[in-house]
Structure 1
Amino acid sequence: MAKSRAYDLVVFDWDGTLMDSTANIVNALQYAFTEIGLPIPSREDCAYVIGLSLQDAMKYLAPTMNESDYQEIVLKYREHYFENANQMVLYDGATQLLEKLEASGHFLAVATGKSRLGLNDALKATGLEGVFHTTRCADESFSKPNPAMLFEVMDRVGMTVEQTIMIGDTTHDLQMAKSAGTHAIGLTHGAHAKEALSKLPNRAILNNLHELLEWFEA
């Protein structure tokens, strides 16, 4: 496969992009609010915050929450999320896509709203440890849509914005790419709808990872 469109660095979001975890995240957020007796956010609002750091997600879902409630709700969220982590799998085609991109000479990276502990656990569970040249997490940098994670990834592997493309399922991913000056592709199989993704600059809005591989091979 020839290297596509001069993008030497392909940066992936994790949740909702490579891993089918949207439902578990939404359920865990609603569970956490239920457990501590706060008004339960809608599924739409919970899906919207996927990709943000937990702190920024909580600020959006409960802007008047006090510090003690915040700490408790994060604990409840993580409790429910990890209890159901074994139900989450990579999207169909993820392994094939990554193998073909790696074989064709692309640098691969992850920029995610997950914590470092959460991403490391996910990489180990999916057998993708060692696949990515570098990864950045929200607890190591600024949360999306701030472009800091993308800049840090590019700096780590010595790539420019012209050589880089961001792949994500949320407007936060595409806005981060816009702010960083890189190109982006949106995937509709995750948290945010095609209509919302299409409002931000993109090279394509695709339905799944099979279509993404076809795009790179075109």
Structure 2
Amino acid sequence: MPQRFDLIVFDWDGTLFDSTALIVKSMQAAAVDLGLEPPSRERASYVIGMGLVEALRHALPGLDPAHYPKLGERYRHHYFASAHEVTLFDGVPAMLQDLKDRHHWLAVATGKSRRGLDEALEAVEMQRLFDGTRTADETASKPHPQMLLELMRQFGTEPERTLMIGDTSHDLELARNAGCPAVAVTYGAHAHDSLLAYDPLLVAHDVASLHAWLLQHA
């Protein structure tokens, strides 16, 4: 059966890496460190996938931008202090290996920093499986299409041959802005209904169902 997609691009946090709770707690703890009212879990989880500055702007609206550097520093402190406790969702390594064996190009488009993604990839020994990566501190943050446009340019793929997979509306809007089809997963940060609004090809409720769909339809 001919393959539909040459390039499959994954979000990282909440899609491959089970880090949603840690991101929320780290953002809340950073706010407390600065004597601020911490964002609710809903508000903090909504911004997952954005670059850090954009995330802080949405999670703590009205905060003086002069506080962003210190808040970002405290966020990174709390995140990296516990990042070793977080790992890939069950079934992710097998899914990625199966896609590599089918000769898809695999990539990551994430709101993480380059340092954060490189450390996460090293911790879970996943560097060899990805052919390309883009982070929010080296290109435009989601939902701007630049991440996907750069990856498509790198591999010479067309939008209709590129699939974006993510757990947030930012991921799906990124795909829409780049003209690419998308798949949503509900086991990460954003609720089912908010993802349906972007007409994904699939809404997967676990890695096993995502894996099975990709083997049949990608």
Q: Secondary structure at the match of 1:165?
A: strand
Q: How many residues align?
A: 216
Q: Could you report, residue by residue, the CA deviation over 1:82-133 in whole angstroms, capped at 9, with x for unpaired residues?
A: 0000110100110000000000010000000000000000000000012111
More deviation, 200-209/66-75: 66-75
Pairing partner for 1:134 from 132, 135, 139: 132
* CA distance in structure 1 between the aligned counterparts of 2:74 and 2:122, rounded to whole angstroms: 23
**Aligned partner of 2:42: which letter?**
E
Matched, 1:111 2:131: no
In structure 2, runs of 5+ residues without a counterpart are: none
1:171 matched to which residue of 2? 169
Q: Secondary structure at the match of 1:139?
A: coil
**Aligned partner of 1:22: which letter?**
T
2:58 matched to which residue of 1? 60
1:73 matched to which residue of 2? 71
Q: CA offset at residue 67 of structure 1?
A: 3.5
Q: CA offset at residue 42 of structure 1?
A: 0.4
Q: Could you report, residue by residue, the CA deviation over 1:29-50 in whole angstroms, capped at 9, with x for unpaired residues?
A: 0000011011111000000000
* CA distance in structure 1 between the aligned counterparts of 2:83 and 2:94, rounded to whole angstroms: 22
What percent of counterpart residues are identical?
44
Q: CA offset at residue 3 of structure 1?
A: 5.7
* CA distance in structure 2 between the aligned counterparts of 1:212 and 1:67, rounded to whole angstroms: 39
In structure 1, runs of 5+ residues without a counterpart are: none
Contact 1:133 1:157 in 2 (8 A): no
2:199 matched to which residue of 1? 201
* CA distance in structure 2 between the aligned counterparts of 1:115 and 1:50, rounded to whole angstroms: 13
**Aligned partner of 2:89: which letter?**
Y
* CA distance in structure 1 between the aligned counterparts of 2:2 and 2:215, rounded to whole angstroms: 8
User: Map of 1:42-53 to 2, 5 A cutoff?
Assistant: 42-53=40-51
Contact 1:147 1:179 in 2 (8 A): yes
Pairing partner for 1:122 from 120, 123, 126: 120
Normalised by the size of structure 1, how large is the TM-score?
0.97
* CA distance in structure 1 between the aligned counterparts of 2:191 and 2:18, rounded to whole angstroms: 15
Root mean square deviation of aligned Cα: 1.0
2:16 matched to which residue of 1? 18
More deviation, 108-117/65-74: 65-74
* CA distance in structure 2 between the aligned counterparts of 1:47 and 1:3, rounded to whole angstroms: 38
Q: Secondary structure at the match of 2:108?
A: strand
Q: Secondary structure at the match of 1:136?
A: strand
1:212 matched to which residue of 2? 210
1:104/1:45 CA distance change after superposition, 3 Å: same
Contact 1:3 1:105 in 2 (8 A): no
Regions of 4+ moved over 2 Å: none
